[in-house]
A and B are shown apart, each in its own frame.
Chain A
């Protein structure tokens, strides 16, 4: 009978017994992430650990918080100040993470969300420093795994900020609206830094995409929480905060819209100029740029619609419209950036050609001057040769004497001169 049990146990991974292969399990996991609407990378956070963070489990224990507090109190701020500028991979970085965790543990719920956002900014700053360090030291390769992990740490902080906001929403809706507003502003300021950092990341995995997706999802979630909290609280403060949030988003989209409009116009002008110079150049398609203008018209209409809906009290719909406009603008901005790259390349090509022409011209001039000089030398040589062969020596002496006479100099003077 025991052999039957053994056989049953041996079947546990068999497909016919419902066993899952690693690929099946991964597929189910990704599908779960999709249903949750969260980045796979963020949810997996604890499975991605760096050697320098190997003590991260310890950091999250109450004991670690006590240790951090004692360190902060007894060693003064010297250690923490030294640690604050450290970057991943450095000795003091652990102290920095430890201090942050201690701060989070000791913070109130509303402060937690803000702190997580601050730490997210720090992580981005660290990525920028890692990239700059690699450039300064003129390394051929940057420490990509370290950068990737720091980016993941950023995404985790952003996610934890929204999680804290959700918790706050359940406890105090009015405060949640205020904090949501703060977080939304912070995320908007993070966006350029994130773009700058991620544009330099040459990552073969999907880290950058996941990180950007997390930030976008966090932004949408923050507005959702703000609206829901306002609908629950419905106070004067929450109403004013939601209006402020809406106005901030509106101002942001409008500024992006007008900036993109200027970019399109500039690109069109430059393309036309370059086409006059050389029609063979690889340039962005003007028709595509015209399409961008059509998209922008759509965004313009969306802005008007969002305003109308917001005034009617459809806050969530208004923010949804903004999200969709942001996505459209982002897609368009990616296209514009590519077009600008083409322009830069074309200009570079033209500059190279001009430089080459200049060099060729200078070389031609030098060659011509040399030719003239050579000709002069040759002529002089020829005339000298003619003189030597055609005139006898006596005649040369007479000639010389007559020349002296012609010049009006006395023989004595001539001697003096000689």
Chain B
């Protein structure tokens, strides 16, 4: 059970009719939903637009009934919206590929993080992995999600996620080694 769920687990229902809690939910989940969309869509603007759409749909749903698992629920809406997005061929035609390598020097975090890889290199390495691995690694390291939360978000069991995460880490290890070579 997430922190937010625990916070709102008293009373009649989770989130129901509690306007302020929606703001809290937005604050806590918007960054990870946006990131999830960011890596699935070609443009950042689309990711931001769909993030607000995810929450607007969640709000509409909340007017009818409470949401027991906001984490899983929001990711489900996001996945559906991604499917809708790619079904609309015209949008894909207009979309431009993000230029991951054209990073200004000021954005280079390698010095700040005291690591050997630059930001773009790391992202490039992750990009070489299977999309399933990329997803769990991002959720685990960028969003600080627990195995249970990742499992909930992706609609899989915790054991399954543990296995995928283990394989993803191994794949990342191999990819970094081959990148250095």
Contact = CB atoms under 8 A, between A and B. Distances in A.
A235 interface: no
Interface stretch (A37-45, A314-322, A360-368): A37-45
Interface in B7-37: 10-11, 17-24, 26-27, 30-31, 34-37
A36 B20 contact: no
Contacts of B141: 5, 8-9, 11-12
A41 B10 CA distance: 24
A244 to B, nearest CB: 26
Contacts of B73: none
A236 interface: no
A54 interface: no
Contacts of A31: 48-49, 52
Main secondary structure on B side of the interface with A: helix
B115 A1 contact: no
B78 to A, nearest CB: 13
Interface in B38-54: 38-39, 44, 47-49, 51-53
B161 interface: no
Main secondary structure of the interface of A (DSSP, over half): helix
Contact of B142 (A18, A38, A43): A18
Contacts of B143: 12
Nearest to B7: A57
B144 A43 contact: no
B20 A10 contact: no
A15 B107 contact: yes
Given A6-B115, A32-B52, A60 B142 contact: no
Contacts of B10: 61-62
A384 interface: no
B178 to A, nearest CB: 13
Contacts of B100: 16
B52 A10 contact: no
A167 B19 contact: no
A159 B63 CA distance: 12
B115 A16 contact: no
A8 B109 contact: no
Contacts of A61: 10
Nearest to A62: B10
A170 B109 contact: no
A7 B55 CA distance: 30
B11 A14 contact: no
A34 B169 CA distance: 41
Interface in B77-113: 100, 103, 107, 109, 112-113
Contact of B31 (A3, A20, A43): A20
Interface string A10-33: 111011111110001101110110
A25 B11 contact: no
Contacts of B26: 29, 32
A136 B23 CA distance: 38
Contacts of A141: none
A217 to B, nearest CB: 13
Interface of B: 10-11, 17-24, 26-27, 30-31, 34-39, 44, 47-49, 51-53, 55-56, 59-60, 63-64, 100, 103, 107, 109, 112-113, 115-117, 119-120, 122-123, 126, 137-138, 141-144, 169, 172-173, 176
10 contacts: A1-B169, A8-B126, A12-B141, A17-B138, A28-B30, A34-B52, A36-B59, A43-B22, A62-B11, A170-B64
Given A3-B115, A19-B31, A43-B22, 18 more contacts: A4-B176, A9-B142, A11-B142, A12-B142, A14-B109, A16-B123, A18-B34, A18-B38, A18-B138, A28-B52, A28-B55, A35-B52, A38-B19, A38-B59, A46-B23, A47-B20, A61-B10, A160-B17
Shortest Cβ-Cβ A-B pairs, 3 listed: A46-B20, A18-B38, A18-B35
